[in-house]
Structure 1
Amino acid sequence: MLENIRIILVGSQEPMNVGATARAMQNFGLSDLRLVDPEPRVVADLGLGAHSWAYRLAVHAEEILQRASIEQSLLEALAGVQLVIGTTVRKREIYTGPLVNAREMASAALQQAQTGKVAILFGREADGLRTEELDLSQLIVRIPTAPKQPSLNLAQAVVVLGYELFMAAQEPPAPAAPTQANREALEALFADLGEWVLETGFSDPNRQPYAVRRFRRLLHKAHLTPGEVQFLRGFLHQSRWYARQGRPKAKS
Structure 2
Amino acid sequence: MDWLENIRIVLVGSQEPMNIGAAARAMQNFGISDLWLVAPEPRVREDLARHPGGSLAYRLAVHAEDVLDRMRVVDTLPEAVADARLVVGTTVREREIYTGPVVGPRPMALRVAQVAPRGRVAVVFGRETSGLTTDEIDLSQLIVRIPTSPRQPSLNLAQAVLLLCYEIFGVAQAPPPPEPLQLASQAALQQLFDDLKEYILRIGFTDEKRLPYAVRRFRRLLHKARLTPGEVQLLRGFLHQSRWYAQHGRRKTDPQE
- TM-score bracket for the superposition, by shorter chain length: over 0.9
Matches within 5 A, 1:201-240: 201-240=204-243
Q: Does 1:4 align with 2:23?
A: no
1:106 deviates by 0.5
1:177 deviates by 3.8
What letter corresponds to residue 4 of structure 1 in structure 2? N
Gaps of 5+ in 1: none
**What whole-Å deviation, never above 9, does each CA across 1:70-92 have from its counterpart, x for those lacking one?**
00111111121110000000000
Name the counterpart of 2:151.
Answer: 148
**What whole-Å deviation, never above 9, does each CA across 1:42-62 have from its counterpart, x for those lacking one?**
011001113200001111100
| Whole-angstrom distance in 2 between the partners of 1:88 and 1:27 | 23
Is the 1:9–1:34 Cα contact (8 Å) retained in structure 2? yes
Give the secondary structure class of the aligned counterpart of 2:177. Answer: coil
| Whole-angstrom distance in 1 between the partners of 2:177 and 2:256 | 57
1:248 deviates by 5.7
Name the counterpart of 2:93.
Answer: 90
Give the secondary structure class of the aligned counterpart of 1:84. Answer: strand
Give the TM-score of the pair, scaled to structure 2.
0.95
Which of these residues, 29, 46, 49, is aligned with residue 48 of structure 2? Answer: 46
Matches within 5 A, 1:168-207: 168-207=171-210
Is the 1:114–1:177 Cα contact (8 Å) retained in structure 2? no
| Whole-angstrom distance in 2 between the partners of 1:246 and 1:186 | 28
| Whole-angstrom distance in 1 between the partners of 2:21 and 2:240 | 46
What letter corresponds to residue 157 of structure 2 in structure 1? L
Is the 1:89–1:151 Cα contact (8 Å) retained in structure 2? yes
| Whole-angstrom distance in 1 between the partners of 2:246 and 2:147 | 48
**What whole-Å deviation, never above 9, does each CA across 1:168-207 have from its counterpart, x for those lacking one?**
1111442344210001100000000000111000000111
Which of these residues, 147, 150, 169, is aligned with residue 166 of structure 1? Answer: 169
| Whole-angstrom distance in 2 between the partners of 1:172 and 1:101 | 17
**What whole-Å deviation, never above 9, does each CA across 1:202-230 have from its counterpart, x for those lacking one?**
00011111111000000000000000000
Is the 1:85–1:137 Cα contact (8 Å) retained in structure 2? yes
Give the TM-score of the pair, scaled to structure 1.
0.97
| Whole-angstrom distance in 1 between the partners of 2:209 and 2:78 | 24
Name the counterpart of 2:132.
Answer: 129
Name the counterpart of 1:117.
Answer: 120
Is the 2:110–2:175 Cα contact (8 Å) retained in structure 1? no
What letter corresponds to residue 77 of structure 1 in structure 2? A
What letter corresponds to residue 32 of structure 2 in structure 1? L
Give the secondary structure class of the aligned counterpart of 2:36. Answer: strand
The number of aligned residues is 252
